Structure 1
Amino acid sequence: MPPFEGVLFDLDGVLVDSEHLAEGVWVRTLAEHGLPIAANEFSHLAVGQTFPNVLVRLQELHGWTATDAFLPVLEERFNQAFHDLPAIQGARETLLALRAAGIPFAVASNSERGRLHLKLRASGLAELVGTHAYDPSWVGGRGKPHPELYVFAAAQLGVDVTRCVVVEDSVPGGTAGVAAGATLFALLAAGHIHPDSSAQMQAIGAARVLRSHRELQEALGVTTSA
């Protein structure tokens, strides 16, 4: 038996390769609405954050506030960008292997609920995840780095969060997992990963730093025939 009873996944950058797409949409739309910002600077302030927190950080760091015209444009571009969203290589096989092993899993994401389910459908993972996809609205809007979302997701699986592995790619998400009492596995397999990500994730308490879903499957002790 594995030394855990459930697996809790972040979505963006862990199961779907969406961060670079979202970053491009943000940078383009911000520039058109009065805030030119470099892609790497935006990524540093935004990765792993909730949508409201990104807006707050933009105001705090750049004195920029979203107008009523900004949000509909951004939303429409997100819908277009995520229409053909790829799953990260091996993600589907990881979920299939967990299901075959009888290990429950859930997705806990800072994405807004509509975008969360859009990404799951577009990537072909919605059927595997089923109803166990949770966003901050399930816990009063308190997204990562607060731990409540992971505690809630574990409870929905019927397992204690301290008996779960959290799979994350960002400091805010990893911080939430550790604060919840879960074991943190850092998965750095997406296109947006920075050179210092490994050190950052180890610094907040990652038990393992992994570079692919194949490595994740081995760390979880599950196998796939794919």
Structure 2
Amino acid sequence: MSGHDFEAVLFDLDGVLVDSEALANTVWTQALAEHGLMLDREALLARAVGGTHEALFAWLRAEHGWERPGHFVSLLDERLAAAFQDTPAIEGAADTLRALSAAGLPFAVASNSQRGRLHLKLAAAGLAGLVGQHAYDPAHVGGRGKPLPDLYLHAAAALGVSPTRCLVVEDSVTGLRAGVAAGATVWGLLAGGHAHPDGAGALLGAGAARVLGTHAELREALGLSVPA
């Protein structure tokens, strides 16, 4: 399917539109260290990218025998909220959204982020007004986050488009599998400022039709021009 054949574009958030992964990883690493678990930043990032907090807690329990204290989630929420006030947009992301709007091509965001953090990051990055109401999180689908397809199926339905006519843009194997399972065409986009634990080879191996490195490349592949 070429860039001109899609009827909607569905974006992941973290690492695709906003550069939040390094911020979150710093908070997690410091909070875990304060509660008795020292983890390598890269190892934690590799497990965290694309997943939910509950999936990460399950991994910490299974692999490290670490159980979260009762106050840990509230502490984490407070620190993440403070950190995400400084979330930057990934270079070119706003231009991509403006170009899609100008071309009349609908788009939505489907993220494993908790709803409050999702909207906080969009606002901090200056993208909330461009995305509007079409920002979806696991609470919209009964908590069934990626790698299940529900989020992307929900986003496509909200736009009134068949998922098979959608392009999903992802930076993680977890998210990519969700898009593939939804029946969409999935492109990898490795434009974030952090080192990507899931590189181009991993994304292609999981079913990505292609992998791009910048939003400029994404717009070119879609045949979009940034409005003056």
TM-score by length of 1: 0.97
Match of 1:192 among 191, 194, 199: 194
1:108 maps to what in 2?
Answer: 110
1:176 maps to what in 2?
Answer: 178
Q: For 2:20 and 2:92, locate their aligned partners in 1 and report how far apart those are by CA, in whole Å.
A: 15
The answer (yes or no) to whether the contact 2:84–2:120 under 8 Å persists in 1 is yes
Match of 1:163 among 165, 168, 187: 165
Q: How does 1:21-170 map to 2 (within 5 A)?
A: 21-170=23-172
Q: Which sits farther off after the overlay, 1-10 or 188-197?
A: 188-197
Map Cα deviations across residues 25-68 of structure 1 (whole Å, 9 max, x no partner). Answer: 00000000111101011011111101111111111111111111
- Sequence identity percentage: 60
Q: Which amino acid counterpart does residue 205 of structure 1 have in structure 2?
A: G
Q: Evaluate the alpha carbon distance shift between residue 196 and residue 78 of structure 1 in structure 2; reply closer, same or farther with a 3 A threshold.
A: closer
**5+ residue gaps in structure 1?**
none
How many corresponding residue pairs?
Answer: 226
The structural deviation recorded for 1:143 is 0.3
Q: For 2:48 and 2:88, locate their aligned partners in 1 and report how far apart those are by CA, in whole Å.
A: 21
The structural deviation recorded for 1:194 is 3.1
Q: Evaluate the alpha carbon distance shift between residue 126 and residue 195 of structure 1 in structure 2; reply closer, same or farther with a 3 A threshold.
A: closer
Q: Evaluate the alpha carbon distance shift between residue 54 and residue 88 of structure 1 in structure 2; reply closer, same or farther with a 3 A threshold.
A: same
The structural deviation recorded for 1:195 is 7.0
3-state SS of paired residue (1:58):
helix
3-state SS of paired residue (2:108):
strand
Q: For 1:5 and 1:143, locate their aligned partners in 2 and report how far apart those are by CA, in whole Å.
A: 23
Q: Which amino acid counterpart does residue 41 of structure 2 have in structure 1?
A: A
3-state SS of paired residue (1:82):
helix
The structural deviation recorded for 1:84 is 1.7
The structural deviation recorded for 1:71 is 1.5
The answer (yes or no) to whether the contact 2:149–2:178 under 8 Å persists in 1 is yes
The structural deviation recorded for 1:79 is 1.0
3-state SS of paired residue (1:106):
strand
